[in-house]
Amino acid sequence: MSSYQDTLDNYQIQGRLRALRTLPRAGSRFEIEGREYLNFSSNDYLSLSQDERVKRAAADAIFKWGTSASASRLVTGDLDIHSELETELASYLGEESALVFGSGFLTNVGVLTSLAGRNDQIFSDKLVHASLIDGVQQSRANHFRFKHNDIEDLQRLMEQNPSSAERIIVTESVFSMDGDKAPLAEIVQVANHYNAILVIDEAHALGVFGSGLLSTITVQPERLVIVGTLSKSLGSYGGFVACSNELRNYFINSARSFIYSTGLPPSSCAAALEALRIIQAERLGGELLDRAKLFYLALDSLGEFLLPFESQIIPLIVKDNQRSLELSQSLYQKGIICSAIRPPTVPENTARLRFSINLAHTEEQLCRVADEIVRVLVE
């Protein structure tokens, strides 16, 4: 038996084996063999991937530019739709410039490997996304991980490890697995005090909390880099960095994941651009958070499994890997799709069901699903 199969067998024993499950369509609601399913594992928070205006913009872009940018943007793949999206993203985020990458993963790896090198220092929250971790590792910088959302631990690490080289603090604004918020005002103050570059991933905040959670605080760092994706609230695909003009030009010339990747398809750019305009005009995030709070309160009897409410991401911490898989399957049999999230995506002994509330979920559906979840967990 091959070592690969041995590894897969161990994953199976540990309740960590993953497999693909093909669905008939994307979105928060669909039918499978005549039965309605509600999807609580989609990051399409504002349900804009199914919005007719967004789909029409994507289709029109295909007929105007074709299905692909067909080359790296530094070769012949730079289209005016890329620049239009970047201009509006920068304006929305209050930054001088923006640069669109092929995905959020490519963005984070490209940005961090460009900003930091072997002699530099990166201080990252212990729960940042895998793409940020990979970017840190590939940069070969000296890496220090501070306790989750612990400002005192961040300050201690920076104080104990002085350096004249570049220093970078990395965090998310809304964390993807716990749904909690970073203490950004305090992190900004630390970054300014130590003259550190601050890299904030706004992937799960953009559109839900206006132009991101950073927009809710008044203090701005002197050196700020915002990263995010087009694949969540913007209902499209791709990633971006918003920053100064100088840094944009630097990333164009140094980020290997940008230089050596085909430009983002024009349909993805057009869809994200239309979604961005809808978000600015209709302010959908507040309504989403109201529905998420309704759902959270309906799960009140499961308090031992719940973290404090902070966002549209609501995890139920069941700890055991196999138990999380069993609960996920039980809910699926009731028409509720909620994937089991297990290590290494989350820390050991914190396996969970991660409920992602979308605007396509009605209040009636949310209350009904909450009742089903309570019944399944107390069986």
**Can you list the domains of the chain with their CATH numbers?**
19-46+284-378 (3.90.1150.10), 52-281 (3.40.640.10)
Q: Percentage of the chain surpassing pLDDT 70?
A: 98
Q: What is the pLDDT of residue 31?
A: 80
The pLDDT of residue 100 is above 80: yes
Q: What are the percentages of helix, strand and coil residues in the chain, rounded to 5?
A: 45, 20, 40
pLDDT digits (tens, 9 = 90+) for 307-359: 999 999 999 999 999 999 999 999 999 999 999 999 999 999 999 999 999 99
Which band of pLDDT confidence, cut at 50, 70 and 90, is reported for residue 378? confident
Q: Which of 316, 319, 325, 321 is nearest to 374 (CA)?
A: 316
Q: Percentage of the chain surpassing pLDDT 90?
A: 87
66: helix, strand or coil: coil
Residue 118 burial by Cβ neighbours in a 10 Å radius (0-12, 13-18, 19+): exposed
Can you tell me the mean pLDDT for 264-292? 97
Q: What is the pLDDT of residue 120?
A: 98
Lowest mean pLDDT among 128-142, 207-221, 262-276: 207-221
The pLDDT mean for the chain works out to 94
The pLDDT of residue 25 is above 60: yes
Q: What is the pLDDT of residue 20?
A: 83
Task: Answer whether 204's CB lies under 8 Å from 213's CB.
Answer: no
Q: Give me the count of residues in the chain.
A: 379
pLDDT digits (tens, 9 = 90+) for 263-273: 999 999 999 99
* Residues tagged active-site: 43, 129, 172, 176, 201, 204, 232
The pLDDT of residue 1 is above 60: no
Distance CA 241, CA 252 (A): 11
Q: What is the pLDDT of residue 379?
A: 67
The pLDDT of residue 117 is above 80: yes
Place of tokens 């069993």: 326
Q: Which of 279, 255, 306 is nearest to 202 (CA)?
A: 279
Which band of pLDDT confidence, cut at 50, 70 and 90, is reported for residue 182? very high
Q: What is the pLDDT of residue 219?
A: 60
Q: Which of 95, 100, 66, 69 is nearest to 83 (CA)?
A: 100
pTM value is 0.93
The pLDDT of residue 218 is above 70: no
The pLDDT of residue 196 is above 70: yes
Distance CA 260, CA 124 (A): 27
